Amino acid sequence: MITDGGVGDLILFSYFVGNGEDGLHLAWSEDGLHFVPLNGGRSVLSPDPAVSQLMRDPFILPGPDGDFHLVWTGDWSGQTIGYARSEDLIHWSAKALPVMAHEPTAHNCWAPEIAWDARRRRYLVFWSTTIPGRFPETDLTGDDGYNHRIYATTTTDFMEFAPTRLFFDPGYNVIDAMILAGEDRFHLIFKDETRHPVRKHLRVASANDIEGPYGDISEPFTESWTEGPSALRFGDAYRVFFDCYSAGKYGAVESRDLRDWVDISDRVSFPEGARHGAAFRVSPEVLGRLRSCFGWAGAD
């Protein structure tokens, strides 16, 4: 669940570069517009081969327990996602979560994210998966046979998990969902992954409950060939960052009502090569420890 905060809060941005083979990258910002890489732009956490070969689409949630919870896409195929826990964003314990092990034909588990369900006092974990033949009416609309929907599970401790369930099915191929808490509703920002005909843009669905059901789907608010949305609130506006992956750059939009959007892409800057990242707020103490450990771009 995205938490509120004021302009000037320190923000971290987790991301990957290349194919995700070198692991987790972090950047920081004071204004939510200009992001500077830590560790001279190098990875701050390498993949553990016992968990995953890659670390794509990294998402970090500062939990109510004071720990940081990281999930990521571990490979292009398979039934697991990567998970790691840390007290300081420096030292991590990692493992694979077999979230789709009950579906042996599932192609993949992509772009996982976590939200904190404050009412039920548990974590909501959700991701995109293609299960061949599950939604035959849209089997021919995606790339290379992919036909995703969003699935989810819940946990209080990342040790025991509720049975995986279908979480969001708008009737078409969908990936890269994230949850934004609004004034009185929850909003699921996602990518319409339809390839035939080309959509590949971002939309918003809404719900009264963080665990859904989500409906009232908006018109697209980005151009085609955008993905990996990440949102934070700044004062009375919401800012959504997204990966313009075909153009090799990042974009951003702002809105006060999640319906009317202003493109601010010319005002943002991200580390070179940054892909599918996620922004979250941290304290000066947390950032200070990271800078002491890793330094930042341009430092010796």
pLDDT digits (tens, 9 = 90+) for 66-124: 999 999 999 999 999 999 999 999 999 999 999 999 999 999 999 999 999 999 999 99
Residue 62 clears pLDDT 50, i.e. is over it = yes
Model pTM? 0.95
User: Per-residue pLDDT tens for 32-50?
Assistant: 999 999 999 999 999 999 9
Domains (range + CATH), the chain = 10-294 (2.115.10.20)
Q: Is the pLDDT score of 6 beyond 60?
A: no
The answer for residues whose C-beta is within 8 angstroms of residue 151's C-beta and 6 or more apart is: 99, 100, 126, 127, 128, 129, 164, 165, 166, 167
145-182: b or e for each residue (b if 16 or more CB lie within 10 Å)?
A: ebbbbbbbbbbeebeebeebeebbbbebbbbbbbbbbe
Please tell me the predicted confidence (pLDDT) of residue 297. 64
The model's pLDDT over 167-212, given as tens digits with 9 standing for 90+, comes to: 999 999 999 999 999 988 999 999 999 999 999 999 999 999 999 9
For the chain, the average pLDDT equals 95
What pLDDT score does 295 carry? 84
